[in-house]
Structure 1
Amino acid sequence: MEASATAASEFIELWKNSINCDTQALIEAKEKCEHILNRVELAGRMIHIETTSEAFAENEIDANLLSDDRWKRLSWIFGPDAVRNFIGIDARGICLLLGFGEEWLDRKLASGTRFKLAIFPKTSVDGTLATWDGVENVVQKYYPEVWGKVENHMPEIRSTDFTEIQRLAGYDMQAVNLVGRRGRAYDVDGESDSEHYISLQRLQRREGTLVQVRQFLWDEIGIKGLFVGDGRTQNDAGEQGPREFLARNLPINDIEGHIVIEVNPSRCLVWPCIAL
């Protein structure tokens, strides 16, 4: 796996050097990126962690997961088509390319959230393309406790525009998701200050209506209102981005050939590489 780790490290250095470079250098950087990806297909994740989280501290990095939320069984990752498009854009540009809304990103930065870019061989993580079929497969596999309730409503969820489900809910589903869990990243009981928030634990206890199941998909897995099930990210303007995948929320150190660096999406800065 040494070659894979080298590929991830080579890409990170290439990416950092491609930011704000001239046209010819950018063309050459993109060609070098293709050579790397032809050798080893790379994937990754932009990890965002609250500064209050112990997982961000360097002495706790071994415990860090793909998703900072310890209760999450799944995490969102990007693939090689995203990686090749990182060349020439800064950390903020990467976040926007991956579908992080500008408002969400600025709010997270203002609250002290910090970001890490993880790059690793695609083969090191078993990712499922995030289509509606893929969502059904991972929910059935990783959330068997509630699969029956979810399965009952998947045909309607897939065929109904989210705005209609939002209308049926009678409350702001995004606002509920933003309330989050009382225990935040280290939550264990799935409780929230919003009665409408639907964690795994709450869905197990509740009826499992259409709205409750759709809220569960958002709150537990991160399937937002913009999700259309075509396997690609989508930004606030509805523009399609690179492919996205769902994978088990693994400890970073269990992913062979990975490289992680801390990045700043607010000021086009990159900190020294932290190779784990």
Structure 2
Amino acid sequence: MNIAIVDDEKHCIESLELDLQALEIDHNLVYKTNKSVEALEELPKLKIDILFLDVEMPHLNGFELLDQLETLDFDVIFTTAYSEYALQAFKNKAYNFLLKPVDSEELEEILLDWERKQKKESLLLNELAIKDLLSKIKNEGLVKSKIAIPTVQGFEFLKTEDILYCQSENNYTKIFLQTGEKKLISKTLKDVEKTLSNYLFLRIHQSYLINPKYLKQYNKTDGGYVVMDDGHSIPVSKQKRHLLTEFYDIISRT
């Protein structure tokens, strides 16, 4: 998680920074300042997940600072020595509220809760994306669709249902067909993935894009890999394992 701290008292920033470092929670402190006016200008430029924001500050207090920000694409945890601000904090859509001096156990529980919430939302989004793809694949016209690949002479048209998988070859991509043919094209795998984005292909590894129609086996051992109908084994990256599991969980329920 990327974290920012805005507090007019430098010792409070330093104390919170030490508390964060003591926790076994992966985070990056990307921004800190004791000037709320400066924060108003800098925060929109940053990619942060959580803002620890003091309430009472000169020039702009925490609530005024949030009011002047056009968009809030991060969660806010207010920090203050005054408990009477708690209700107002939650009215300002705060994710949570911490009283100073900050209790390290309470801080840890809030951040762990935030992580759990993010994972749950991520799983939900993946499931919705897969369901959307499943509805598309049931469309008869979609199954019969073709894509054009560049050749020296011009273009060759391939049926998407004939593609087993695609493998990255630096700035090229090798396409493996169920006929046993291989096509090397001058497009990156990322470009090919965009072309096939509506046809239920899954990016299970940095170097591989597969057609799950031709999946023969998914093995969770040895780091995780799949076996395709042609007998080829393809690794599954750690970040994509849950997507593959969720995909087949949804398949079994449809």
Q: TM-score, normalization: structure 2?
A: 0.22
Normalising by structure 1, what TM-score?
Answer: 0.21
| Greater relative CO (CA pairs within 8 A, separation 6+) | 1
Structure with higher Rg: it is 2
Higher relative helix content: 1
